[in-house]
Structure 1
Amino acid sequence: MFRRRRREQPEQATEQEAAAPTRESGPWDADEPHPDTDRIDLGGLRLPHNSDFDVRLASVGDQHVGVVALYEDSSLQLQALAAPRSSGLWDEVKAKIRAQAKHLEEQEGPFGSELTGEMKVDGAARPARYLGIDGPRWFLLAVISGKAATDETIATAYIDFIKDVVVVRGDEPMAREEPIPLRRPSDPGAEQQEDEQGFNPFRRGPEISEIR
């Protein structure tokens, strides 16, 4: 679990003080004005600090490609992908998800259109919500599974978490749908937990982990 809290870089904080956020909530792009709060700096993602959440890195090979947050017998999986400058990815990703996870329904949620239904985990059905947020040259996929997928009280904590995520796309060229790379917290004193399996947006949190 990541336990050490990190603040935004001083120069970024100065810019944010000069320009107030133009939206009520995120997810935020690193280049837009956003609240200067304590966040876990993972490079491509900066996550809000919530001591109730157990946050883990998800990796494929030597590359960290996503995170999972565990809370109240539920999980939140987050993965940020590079997107074209001219269009978003959510419509395309939704079609791919529906092709793999049958019997999902589309409904309106806090970030617009989302998919709800069930996923199969070890042969058992598990409630799930798939949320997609298109940003400037990035796309954020959030998958809430377990009790929080149907219990709005628990889901609220996850939605608030997503709303304060900062995505750091960077200026380097990236292929369409390429995962925005993450890294361990820059503070060597920060603690984390990592497992030993590959990232899969159709599995629950404890099974998203790392391959070496």
Structure 2
Amino acid sequence: MFGMGKKKKAEQSAAELALEETKAPSPDAESTLTAEENIVDEHPAFDRSNGPWDSSEKKASDDSYIDLGGLLIKSHPGLNLRLEADQKTQQVIAVTLQLGKGHLQVQAFAAPKSAGIWDDIRHELSESVRNQGGQVEINDGPLGRQLISRVPAQTADGRKGFRIARFVGVDGPRWFVRGVFSGAAVLPGESAEALEEVFRSIIVHRGFDPMAPRDLLPMRVPQSIQDAAEAQKAAQSQQGEKTPAGLEIPRRGPEITEIG
């Protein structure tokens, strides 16, 4: 299923984050973070042998992958996709993937040839979360070094709580791909494992055009979806047919929450 959303700041966009009731912060986690930020990261680079891949390393078949331009997403049973668009330019800037109650937003950026950028971005995210009065924990997860943020927020019934998200990042050849897990996929479990497998199956198409580091890789609405939407509109106008189950015409949706 496809949908369209909107976003003001491409590089700072993040998936809509889950709310939970306020819990006491962990002093150990906070002190660990402070110590880490004062030293140079010495953790090993993430092993990409099982993905995400560069388009030069793995070819996507037309049947199993959805081509979004800079990102190619493998189809999985029950996987829903929502494309997020910049509200001014209407350019696609991110894709949010949903499996059950878990969500994963993915964006791909250009990166320098010489070094990755996840370490720098992770530390910048840490500072941004703290500036919002939030808490951050950095540790090693299934997708390498990850950042878990807890930002103060208000629940739907007016109680104080946190917006929780898990940020992961993988550096590739001249690109960087970032994932933001939310909902049931924040913590370890079946939802997290399923969306982590989706993240690993991603293929990034950097292209050969010169791009400044951190520029978003161009994304687009898949041609097959555009064709289906146009045919569907024509059928509805002529025969008054309802939208078939499982296909949502791309459209603008609610703004997604910013981090930063």
Q: TM-score range by the shorter chain?
A: 0.7 to 0.9
Structure 2 unaligned regions, length at least 5: 3-46, 156-160, 230-246
Structure 2 equivalent of residue 41 of structure 1: 67
Is residue 144 of structure 2 the alignment partner of residue 112 of structure 1?
A: yes
Report Cα offsets for 1:44-76 as digits up to 9, x if no partner: 110010231220111112211110012322311
Distance 1:70 1:33 in 2: 24
Is residue 56 of structure 2 the alignment partner of residue 31 of structure 1?
A: yes
Distance 1:54 1:114 in 2: 24
93-102 or 112-121, larger mean C-alpha shift? 112-121
Structure 1 equivalent of residue 259 of structure 2: 202
1:10-89 aligned at under 5 Å gives the runs 24-33=49-58, 36=61, 38-60=64-86, 61-89=89-117
Structure 2 equivalent of residue 11 of structure 1: none
Distance of aligned partners of 1:108 and 1:84 in 2 relative to their CA distance in 1, 3 Å threshold: same
Is residue 122 of structure 2 the alignment partner of residue 94 of structure 1?
A: yes
Contact 1:107/1:114 (<8 A) preserved:
yes
Normalised by the length of structure 1, the TM-score is 0.77
Aligned mate of 2:191, from 154, 158, 163: 154
111-120 or 95-104, larger mean C-alpha shift? 111-120
Structure 2 equivalent of residue 18 of structure 1: none
Could you say what secondary structure the match of 1:101 adopts? Answer: helix
Distance of aligned partners of 1:169 and 1:199 in 2 relative to their CA distance in 1, 3 Å threshold: farther
Distance 1:120 1:70 in 2: 24
Let me know the Cα RMSD of the aligned residues: 2.6
Number of equivalences: 185
Structure 1 unaligned regions, length at least 5: 3-21, 204-212
How far the C-alpha of 1:95 sits from its partner, in A, is 1.2
Distance of aligned partners of 1:193 and 1:67 in 2 relative to their CA distance in 1, 3 Å threshold: same
Aligned mate of 1:128, from 165, 181, 193: 165
Distance of aligned partners of 1:181 and 1:155 in 2 relative to their CA distance in 1, 3 Å threshold: same
Distance 2:123 2:81 in 1: 28
Contact 2:143/2:196 (<8 A) preserved:
no
Contact 1:143/1:201 (<8 A) preserved:
no
1:141-180 aligned at under 5 Å gives the runs 141-180=178-217
Normalised by the length of structure 2, the TM-score is 0.64
Distance 2:192 2:96 in 1: 15
Distance 2:48 2:59 in 1: 8
Which residue identity is paired with 1:26?
G
Contact 1:28/1:34 (<8 A) preserved:
no
Identity of aligned residues (%): 33
Distance of aligned partners of 1:92 and 1:23 in 2 relative to their CA distance in 1, 3 Å threshold: closer
How far the C-alpha of 1:197 sits from its partner, in A, is 5.2
